[in-house]
Chain A
Amino acid sequence: MLKTNGQKLIKDGVIVDNTWALIAKPEGDAAEVAVPAGQVIVPLSVWAAQKAQLQARADVGVWLDSDEVAESIGEDANHFPVIGVNFPGFMDGRAFSTARLLRERYGFKGELRAVGGFIRDQLCYLRRCGVNAFAFANPETDLEIAVKSLNDFNEYYQASVDQPLPLFRRRA
């Protein structure tokens, strides 16, 4: 079961209420999972199994586990108001690539939310990769302090989502 840090998260640099419920990966048949009404983020398997019913709803987001690739959503990305990328543990860095692909290759414009076991010290790099919302699994994370890590750096060598021009194209 995925945990979230109470009802708060960091979004676009400020602490806001979390209005989205997150559904954990089902152990059984994804087609049988009851998706409640209201804003809800479902696992990829549930989306895939219930796409016919769910795609009419504007309040359904999807989340990708670290072994689920951006391509599995692909051009459908902008259908979702929110996409989650999960960190089973903070050392699993696949979400950094997945986030960039969702933004850069599939043009996702909605909320890209890190969920799971990432840590505060990864916020700046995650932001650079296109993640704009951070729902910490660790309930003890002090969001007021953590938010500072978003801006550990304000200048960068390489291209990424936040700054598509590498430094060599901007250097005076």
Chain B
Amino acid sequence: MYIYDEYDNSILRQRVAQFRDQTERFLAGDLPPEQFLPLRLQNGLYVQRLAPMLRINVPYGMLNSAQIRKLAHIARHYDKGYVHVSTRQNIQYNWPDLTEVPDILSELADVGMHGTQSSGNCIRNTTSDQFAGVAEDEIIDPRPYCEIIRQWSSFHPEFAFLPRKFKIAVTGSEKDRAAVQVHDIGLQLILKDSGEIGFKVYVGGGLGRTPVIGSVIREFLPEEDLLSYLEAILRVYNLSGRRDNKYKARIKILVRAVTPEVFAQKVEAEWEHMKDGYSKLTRAEIERAKGFFTAPAYEAIDNAAAQAGVDAQAADSVAFSKWLQRNVRGHRVAGYAAVTLSLKPTGIAPGDITDGQLEIIADLADEFSFGEARTTHEQNIVLADVKKSDLFALWQKCKTAGFATPNIGTITDIICCPGGDFCSLANAKSIPIAEAIQRQFEDLDYVYDLGDIDLNISGCMNACGHHHVGHIGILGVDKSGKEFYQVQLGGSASNDASLGDVLGPSFGADAMPSVIQKLVDVYVANRTDEELFIDTYRRIGAAPFKEKVYAKN
């Protein structure tokens, strides 16, 4: 993975010093709260319902074991002993003390981490595919490009006071696991037959209160033009995006208002001026970035023999075989597998991990996966390079540590924002709803029979829980001070991206497990052999689901 050099370290140290000074001025009363607000946000610091919340970037989800140990240390010494993996692959602390945040950031800088631009009206952390570099369906590894974007977007002087936040995602595989079509900019890597590499460029996607699927504004952008083209998009947005209403300030509103065609023309016109400037990527820079993401020292392994060993272990252990089925996936290198550690055991807030668990993850990464781990936007952890012959040993350690819940991709692998328990924006709690649904679906064989179902919960229309793109989406709403939940069906964040349709009137919290059960019952009653929930919904439409859920009996 990328390793900070003296330049990266020097820039980050200057940032820490800048924010320490700003914090001291705020505490001394020399920096007014309304001025400190965007400055602290651009260092990851929110003021939440109960305490500040500090969001630390995990660039495109990549962490090394030293960084994970540092995160654990901070959770233990500055917080309440746990962290939360966010739906944008970042790490959040829920209880830091404002006066200690500069110290936390200084400690994080020791391992090349920070909260820079993890919030605020600026370019946020670039996200990507958690299986980048190892996925069997990968065409081009997106991580070198993510790193190039990280450097370009960090401390960008022109784009620190945009109309609104700005999120970029990059995917390099056939299956889009980075949800690029619901980002402000989505980049899909393309390899032409000629060997030329470039990007299909989507703009104006996003969730929040106005969910939109992004529009393609360029079918093929040569890789060397990446930064100048991004700069052109951002400049058009910075100058033309609405600033009169924060709810209409995202780029999606601008793109829709002028039409994607006209927006594309504006970008191309701007880009004409800059495309051959110094920001054009050099071959050397692209190769340098790629040099940080080369294959680790894989062993030459006889895949058939390794697989036979795993199969024999699975035959002896139903629990292990279930874990293999749901939490382990193929790898492009023979004899290896990618493993997802589930952060979704019933009864734990989705995505929460304790300091001790973080240290175990660091140890597991060192022992089994070349010292690296990844966060996922589904709020789990991936060890991407595990030898098949180590899977059984890893599984046993995961069981002990609480990571072996074999539910990845199932209805209980719920994406869930912190909700009303923590977040000051939320209209309703989301964590207790997730838990109640997990309890409703405790029979693993039944859950497996249901297959892949994306169930996403947001506690408000800001949609941090990505409810619009859940096969089943749940949105917390407030009705005269009481918490209700609206259900949406048919969303998807994948290649066939779609936004869910609202099923009908909302439900009270108590009703939610049975509502979800009824929806699943309709699916089971109507599915054909090969259909997943989303397929059945798309075929039969909302009517049968409505009928069942709103039946008067």
Taking beta carbons and an 8 Å cutoff, which residues of A are in contact with B? 69, 90-94, 96-98, 100, 105, 119, 121-122, 124-126, 128-129, 152-160, 164-169, 171
Contact = CB atoms under 8 A, between A and B. Distances in A.
Contacts of A128: 157
Contacts of A126: 157
Nearest to A160: B157
B381 interface: no
A124 B121 contact: no
B35 A158 contact: no
Given A93-B159, A122-B161, 17 more contacts: A91-B38, A93-B160, A93-B161, A94-B238, A96-B160, A125-B155, A125-B157, A129-B157, A152-B18, A153-B14, A155-B11, A158-B156, A159-B278, A167-B151, A168-B281, A169-B278, A171-B5
Contact of A105 (B7, B10, B159, B273): B273
B156 A171 contact: no
Contacts of B279: 158-159, 166
* Central interface residue in B15, B235, B243, B288, by most chain A CB within 10 Å: B243
Q: Which residue among B121, B148, B157, B160 has the maximum number of chain A CB atoms within 10 Å of its CB?
A: B157
A97 B277 contact: no
Given A121-B35, A164-B278, A169-B282, A91 B156 contact: no
A90 B32 CA distance: 13
B162 to A, nearest CB: 6
B132 to A, nearest CB: 21
30 contacts: A92-B161, A92-B243, A96-B157, A96-B158, A96-B159, A96-B160, A97-B158, A122-B161, A129-B158, A152-B14, A152-B18, A153-B11, A153-B155, A154-B14, A155-B10, A155-B11, A155-B14, A157-B151, A157-B152, A158-B156, A158-B157, A158-B227, A159-B277, A168-B148, A168-B151, A168-B281, A168-B282, A169-B278, A169-B285, A171-B5
A167 B238 CA distance: 23
A14 B412 CA distance: 61
Nearest to B31: A121
A167 B407 CA distance: 44
Contact of B288 (A90, A94, A166, A168): A168
Contacts of A167: 7, 151
Interface string B30-74: 010001001100000000000000000000000000000000000
A133 B393 CA distance: 64
A166 B278 contact: yes
Contacts of A157: 11, 151-152, 154-156
Interface size bucket, B side?
35 or more
Max chain B Cβ within 10 angstroms of own Cβ: one of A69, A157, A160, A168: A168
Contacts of B288: 168, 171
Q: Taking each of A96, A158, A160, A165, which has the highest tally of chain B beta carbons within 10 Å of its own beta carbon?
A: A158
Contacts of A125: 155, 157-158, 160
A164 B157 CA distance: 13
Contacts of A96: 157-161, 238
B14 A165 contact: no
B239 A97 contact: yes
Nearest to A151: B14
Given A90-B35, A97-B239, A100-B158, A158 B152 contact: yes
Contacts of B277: 159, 164
Contacts of B31: 121
B16 to A, nearest CB: 11
A82 B493 CA distance: 50
Nearest to B10: A155
Contacts of B35: 90, 119, 121
A121 B282 CA distance: 33
Contacts of A91: 38, 121, 161
Contacts of A105: 273
A119 B157 CA distance: 14
B39 A121 contact: yes
A160 B151 CA distance: 14
